Amino acid sequence: MKMIRHYVTFYSPGTFFAEATTKEIDTWDVGAATEMTATITERYGAKPYGFQFTTRERDEEDFDSRQTDKSGMYYVNCTVSTLADIEERSDPADAILLANMRANGWDRVVSPKTGWRCAQPLMDCDVVIP
Residues making up the chain, counted from first to last = 130
Query: What per-residue confidence (pLDDT) applies to 8?
Result: 98
Question: Which residues, in sequence order, are bridge partners of residue 19?
Answer: 12
Give dist(CA 118, CA 14) in Å, integer. Answer: 9
Q: What burial class does residue 108 get, using C-beta atoms within 10 Å of its C-beta: 0-12 exposed, 13-18 middle, 19+ buried?
A: buried
Q: What is the pLDDT of residues 30-55, one digit of tens each?
A: 999 999 999 999 999 999 999 999 99
Query: What per-residue confidence (pLDDT) applies to 60?
Result: 83
Confidence of residue 111 (pLDDT cuts 50, 70, 90): very high
Comparing CA positions, the residue from 23, 1, 2, 3 lying closest to residue 11 is 23
